[in-house]
Amino acid sequence: MSNLSVYAKTKFILKMIDNIKRIITKHGGIVKALEDELEAQPAILMALLQIGESLNKIDKEVIKKYDLEQEAKGSYDVRNFIAHDYERVRLEIVEDILRSGLEELEEKILKLSADFE
């Protein structure tokens, strides 16, 4: 995988993280955003799906080098659940991901992105 390809994927992931953060801010918090079934909730779920898909397309050696193995697997598992069992997505799990995993993922992706710039 070329450096340009990795860089493009990291920039897209960072954009999805930023979109999630903006949605949460706009709605006054994670819970309120997830309660908005018309716009915010589907947008957050789609962004998480896209993050999982994009991380899965980054070379496994790059993922390992940047200590993203757990995030890559977890993100892809979430992607699969959202894509294949949408109506049974447990929002408390999504809330936990947004509260505890998004910032750490963003930090690691920022480091990876900077190295491939």
| Contact of 9 with 51, CB cutoff 8 Å | no
pLDDT of residue 84: 93
Share of the chain above pLDDT 90, in %: 91
- Whether 117 maps to a domain, the answer reads no
Q: Average pLDDT in the 20-41 region?
A: 98
- Whether 37 maps to a domain, the answer reads yes
Structural domain of 10:
3-111
Confidence of residue 1 (pLDDT cuts 50, 70, 90): low
How many structural domains is the chain composed of? 1
| Contact of 61 with 6, CB cutoff 8 Å | no
29: how many CB neighbours lie within 10 A of its CB?
10
- For residue range 41-68, what is the model confidence (pLDDT) as tens digits? 999 999 999 999 999 999 999 999 999 9
The closest alpha carbon to 94, from 38, 54, 52, belongs to 52
- Whether 116 maps to a domain, the answer reads no
* Residues 8, 98: Cα–Cα separation, whole Å: 23
